[in-house]
Amino acid sequence: MRISPNSHRMESMEPRTHDGFPSQDDPAAAPLNDRERAAHLLSRLSYGPRPGETDKVIEIGAEAWLKEQLQDKDPSDPRLASWLSEYQTLALTVKDCAAFTYTERERGKTQTREEQRAERKKRRIPLDEVVWSTALRAVYSDRQATEVMGEFWRNHLNVSFTKGQNIYAAVPHYEAAVLRNNIWGKFPDMLKASAMHPAMLYYLDNHLSRRPPSKQELAEIERKTKRKTGSEERAVEAVQIASQRGLNENYARELLELHTLGVDNYYKQKDVIALAEILTGWTVDGGRKGSQDFVFKASMHVRGDIKLLGKKFPEDQEKGPGQGLSVLKMLGEHKGTADFIAMKMVRFLVADKPSEKLVAKVAKTYRKTKGDLVAMTQTIVESEDFWSRSNYRTKFKTPYEFILSALRVTGADIDRQASIGRYLQEMGQPIYHCDDPTGYYDTADAWLDPGVMALRWEFATDLANSKIRGVKIPDTFYDQIPHDGPPRLWQHHLTKLILPGGAGDRTRAALATVTSEYLDKKKRVPDLYEIGPTLVGLLLGSPEFQQQ
Amino acid sequence: MSHKNPTSRRDFLKLAAASGVALHSGAFANQLLASETLAPGYVPQDGSNKSLVVIFLRGGADHMNVIVPYGDPDYAAHRPTLAMNLESGLIKLDKTFGLHPAMTSLQSLWASGKLAPIVCAGSPHTTRSHFDAQDWMEFGAPGNRGVRDGWLNRYLATTQKKGDSASEFRALGMQELLPRSLRGTYPVLAVPSSLTKKKSSRNLDAFERFYGEGGDMLEGGEMMSGEREDDAAGVVKSGRITIETLRRLQAIIAASEKKNKNATVSGSSYPDSRFGQRLKKIALVLKANEGLEVAGIDYNGWDDHAQEGGAEGNMADRLRDLSTGISAFCQDLGPTLDTTTILVMTEFGRTVKENGNSGTDHGHGGAMFVIGGGVKGGEVHGDWRGLKPENLYQGRDLAVSTDFRDVFNAVLENSLGFEPPSGFFPDYKPNRLKKLF
């Protein structure tokens, strides 16, 4: 057999190398090549590569990229900066936000329908702004790792607009002060900030939780009601109602189950009640004249030393929230918390079924660094597991990840009124609207039901064909590929942009068929701007793009 | 509509069982598949098509605000702001119980003996976590973290017949994501709301090549070399099932709409709510009589820790929507109701005492309803032990007197004609509820 000296070169000019995927001979266990490593990193710690980003990561290496991501300064896209500057509520305190969205009503005058509408609209401003800014940052921010982990914590310490209007004005500050401010800080700090934030206190009802009234207080209520109404019956009724006031276990339970230890881990029902008692008086200084901030109300607090998880927590002698604070400190240092947070982070960043070895390693980092989230993230990214081929492109994107990565990878222009919320809603993952305190799940079993692909295909083709109001893939996206090259190679160039890790045989074959059908039918000169959107829609709806 | 790659459901099951990504590995069904023998298949005894519609009230609906124990001497004292009585409009069931006043639309079903309320039903497990309680109820396996497939999915997988095609439409979840009870190895469609749009069927055609049995270059059904099966295998399967089952469903609904156009049952007015509209679609599929056996639907928002409300209020609004929806559905079904069972459940009931915020916290025993043909309605089922402190579970909740699996078991047997083999509900010894059907 004659071997041409150029055979290697010739081979490399086959179209498939345009997609940059590995040689077919790669055994399943082969380490990821440079391009795959870059694609993998960008798929897990960002919402996908912007044009040129994959090559940049190949050039500077994963470590340098991550280091850059962890820097404070965000030299983001100027579009993002200008959008964010238009928002009015994102930097406000809860009090200022409440004041900003408050509509003064004239006494004794009924509102017209227009006035009612205007009032509702005004009240919704923080909701719209926090939802929109979250999406825009995820698409355009250069600090992608921050956005990705932001989504993790948004779900871990979930609060939701579905709870009702009292939460609206509190969420922008919650996003800024509790989550974004601590994404690269220490978990116990974030936990404490959440526990003392009006958004969480409202969301899990702790603002209402209080000790039951004493006999003396009940007698007082009876006396007052009788004096006021002159009715014995009303007085008895008032006492009955008042005597029911008391503990609300909602927050205490989720604090143990979802925020720190994990379900039924180390604690029992009696601990839930004990913790609820400890946290009585942790409430919001609400009302028109209140600070709208956390306040400890000693009058609502169950006084006394309380045993929790077998340990005694003495009453705060200063009549402050000290008892609850020491519980939060204990929970922040608890082995159960380290294990639970480590498991969730590994599941989120590496695999639906996380390896116990890596979880143990990350939990160790947690304990060593007191929950330092940079150190934990680094432990994960530096692990063998993270780079293993068995974890490469095997995690199913949530609807949120799917939609945002599609917008990012196509460099889509989005205007403020863009209607992507509808798609998130239909797919079951609207931003800041998860009713359950679990937050949205990040594993495939929660999202990959037969049927869901129909919605993704709809989004993919709508986006590619500019059918989504306020969203457009700019011509510059297509300008990245050589128009004058053979039309049969267009699909390869587009694949390289959208699937930097390459496409499988089935997808490439299908794209080739679509291209052929187009070229065979076409009597005029083939036009990239014409066939491009079809190919992009198919790529975004392809099996490969659903994975990260 | 063309089916270029007719694929048997058994192939789907094999694929699904092998993947474990998209479709959970259900130990029980897998076992059956591995042995290549199927459990005694279900053959409808009378040739009729029996079906079950399962409604899950998520959040732990307050038993005592749904099936209200107005006649219990201790009730009112536990519920100072929430308590109701016959004067508040309760629908009297017997001398102890009444249905919440917002549920009047269910009165005629009760009167005609088609509505069976069950008191104090629930799980033998002590958990008060929503998420565990829901999972374990829907998996039919309290406290068992090994079981990850839903009890209804197990039913479908177990009664799978050889040679069935996936387009034979046995089950659906009428929402974008499946209730957990329908998740598992058997492919069940979660019906997207954009189902009826034209472009959604165009997309099915366009993406068929990407998710079909193989690309156009494939011959003999073999994987091409270099196919990285592990990358997206679960997605491909899910997509393939989406295409086949959605096409089938679209055809069924179109035919049923045509057939029923002139026969819209008078008086059946569904609420405009999402719940009502979804029930309406399920009715269309059921009336088509194309073999739908199981449909699931979730109703969220029953976690009333505060401002629950009594005869009026937050919970009343939900109960009204629920009841008018169910009532319209039953009317709409007409004679089909005789072969249809509706099961309403929730993960647990709530504290007997109301809490400090006119709400209730997580409790234990909950309310269930079985509605439809064949059920012995018109009487309250289950054992009520009263509200004396010594009869309460852990001194605070309704004790569970009927294991929810007893109800599931009875429904499977009587509504679907399927006798669950031993192990179907793990660690469970069947207790026959003879009086329910």
Per residue in B49-83, pLDDT (tens digit) is 799 999 999 999 999 999 999 999 999 999 999 99
Assess B354–A contact: CB distance below 8 Å, yes or no: yes
- Note the pLDDT of residue A81: 87
- Note the pLDDT of residue A108: 79
- Give strand pairing partners of B67: B99
- Which residues numbered 139-178 in B keep a CB inside 8 Å of some CB on A? 148, 173, 176-178
Which residue of B lies nearest to A263 if distances are taken between CA atoms?
B129
Between chains, do B359 and A210 touch, taking CB under 8 Å as contact? no
Q: How far is A420 from chain B (nearest CA, A)?
A: 15
B354: domain range?
9-31+52-213+233-415
Which residue of B lies nearest to A506 if distances are taken between CA atoms?
B215
C-alpha B296/C-alpha A370 separation (Å) is: 45
Cα dihedral B270, B275, B281, B287, rounded to 10, equals -70
For B36-58, what is the mean pLDDT? 63
Contact residues on chain A for B183, CB-CB shorter than 8 A: 445, 449
Domain count, chain B: 1
C-alpha B251/C-alpha B236 separation (Å) is: 23
- Facing B234 at nearest CB: one of A237, A396, A438: A396
- Which residues numbered 291-310 in B keep a CB inside 8 Å of some CB on A? 300-301, 305-306
pLDDT reading at A478 higher than 80: yes
Between chains, do B128 and A446 touch, taking CB under 8 Å as contact? no
CB A42 within 8 A of CB A49: yes
Between chains, do A451 and B210 touch, taking CB under 8 Å as contact? no
Tokens encoding B391: 């009869």
- Note the pLDDT of residue A272: 94
- Note the pLDDT of residue A235: 84
Tens of pLDDT, residues A272-296: 999 999 999 999 999 888 999 999 9
Q: What is the DSSP string of B190-259?
A: EPPGGGG-HHHHHHHHHHHHHHSSS-TT--TTPPPTT--HHHHHHHHHHHHHHHHHHHHHHHHHHHHHHH
Contact residues on chain A for B192, CB-CB shorter than 8 A: 426, 451-452, 454-455, 458
pLDDT reading at A464 higher than 50: yes
Q: How far is B326 from chain A (nearest CA, A)?
A: 24
Between chains, do A244 and B354 touch, taking CB under 8 Å as contact? yes
Between chains, do A547 and B177 touch, taking CB under 8 Å as contact? no
Between chains, do A543 and B235 touch, taking CB under 8 Å as contact? yes
Q: Is residue B430 in a domain?
A: no
Between chains, do A250 and B301 touch, taking CB under 8 Å as contact? no
Between chains, do B80 and A240 touch, taking CB under 8 Å as contact? yes
Tens of pLDDT, residues B163-204: 665 557 899 999 989 999 999 888 899 998 777 666 778 889
Q: Is residue B422 in a domain?
A: no
Provide the 8-state DSSP code for B296: E
Return the exposure string of A11-32: e unless at least 16 CB atoms fall within 10 Å of the residue's CB, then b.
eeeeebebbbbbeeebeeeeeb
Contact residues on chain A for B228, CB-CB shorter than 8 A: 504
Contact residues on chain B for A36, CB-CB shorter than 8 A: none
Tens of pLDDT, residues A331-365: 999 999 999 999 999 999 999 999 999 999 999 99
Q: Is residue B221 in a domain?
A: no
Contact residues on chain B for A241, CB-CB shorter than 8 A: 80-81
Q: Is residue B1 in a domain?
A: no
Assess B13–A contact: CB distance below 8 Å, yes or no: no
Tokens encoding B168: 């034979």
| Complex confidence, ipTM | 0.84
Q: Is residue B335 in a domain?
A: yes
The mean pLDDT value of chain B amounts to 83
Tokens encoding A385: 């597991």
Q: Is residue B159 in a domain?
A: yes
Contact residues on chain B for A458, CB-CB shorter than 8 A: 192, 194, 197, 199-200, 203
Between chains, do B232 and A438 touch, taking CB under 8 Å as contact? no
Between chains, do A461 and B354 touch, taking CB under 8 Å as contact? no
User: CA nearest B188: which of B54, B305, B304?
Assistant: B54
CA distances from A135 to A49, A74, A132, A424 (A): 16, 16, 5, 11
- Facing B194 at nearest CB: one of A208, A426, A537: A426
